[in-house]
Amino acid sequence: MKKEITIGIAEDHPLLRVGLVSALKPHKNIKILFDVSNGKELLENLKVIRPEIILLDIEMPIMRAQDVMQRINAKYPKIKIVIITAFFQKDYIIECFKLGAKAFLPKGDEVEKVLEVINIVHEKGIYIDTEISKVLTEELQNSNKKPSNLRLTKKELEVLNLICQGTKRKETAESLGVTLDTINYHMSNIMRKTNTDNVQSLIKYAIENKLINNA
């Protein structure tokens, strides 16, 4: 006999919520602890009763899904969130996973599919189908494509030299006769081109690559 799985449902469409509840109710290993229509109600319910899995519609009124997921992860890290959505846009999927989602469930999926996802998330902690894994792989490959060997312009080398000499950005701006915004812009672009994220690592990069005094 399968182990009982407790779930909570947060879906703002009454029709879909009722449909989901009535489709899952007959299955003996699923126990629905509550069904609510918005994020605020969901968090209120979690104060007293905690399911193992939450089926969360991401497009709900009153509270943004991002805030709801952040709070659930911070307060109840053991609860697994399955996103119910009809929208499979790359950035949207990635952000949801970053916020702690364990699976995506297309709206209007057959009850068998819903049960399969719930069971896999309960057993293995996560469910990623082919479509989602394609999106995640693509993102991972893109994030590795960082710029390399991008040449710095003459102006950028001038800015880099002054910064490496310890000149403050405001003074650099005055010395080059440009605005502070322009210097900030050049600094961001230099850091992007050199794959650095702070002045110390930039100076190290400049020394290693003999960029100082080359302007």
Position among 27, 50, 107, 204 found at the interface with other proteins (CB under 8 A): 107
136 binds other proteins (CB under 8 A): no
195: left (phi over 0), alpha (psi -120 to 50) or beta: left
Kindly state the DSSP code that residue 167 receives in the 8-state scheme: -
Long-range CB contact pairs, 204-213, < 8 A, 24+: 206/160, 206/164, 207/164, 211/152, 211/157, 211/160, 211/161, 212/160, 212/161, 212/164, 213/161
Q: Which two tokens stand for residue 110?
A: 């057959």
Q: Evaluate whether 36 touches 10 at the Cβ level (below 8 Å).
A: yes
Q: End-to-end CA distance of the chain, in Å?
A: 74
214 binds other proteins (CB under 8 A): no
Which of 6, 106 has the CB closer to other proteins? 106
**Min CB(116)–other proteins separation in Å:** 13
Which of 28, 154 has the CB closer to other proteins? 154
168 binds other proteins (CB under 8 A): no
143 binds other proteins (CB under 8 A): no
**Min CB(198)–other proteins separation in Å:** 13
**Min CB(42)–other proteins separation in Å:** 15
**Min CB(132)–other proteins separation in Å:** 17
Calculate ∠ Cα 160-166-167, nearest 5°.
75
87 binds other proteins (CB under 8 A): yes
2: left (phi over 0), alpha (psi -120 to 50) or beta: beta
63 binds other proteins (CB under 8 A): no
CA distances from 142 to 82, 98, 129, 136, 145 (A): 26, 16, 20, 10, 5
User: Contact letters (x/-) for other proteins, 12-51, by CB under 8 A?
Assistant: xxxxx--x---x----------------------------
155 binds other proteins (CB under 8 A): yes
66 binds other proteins (CB under 8 A): yes
Which of 16, 128 has the CB closer to other proteins? 16
Distance CA 103, CA 82 (A): 5
Which residues in this chain contact other proteins in the complex, by CB under 8 A?
A: 12-16, 19, 23, 58-59, 64-66, 86-87, 89, 91-92, 95, 107-112, 142, 147, 155, 178-179, 181-182, 184-186, 188-189, 192
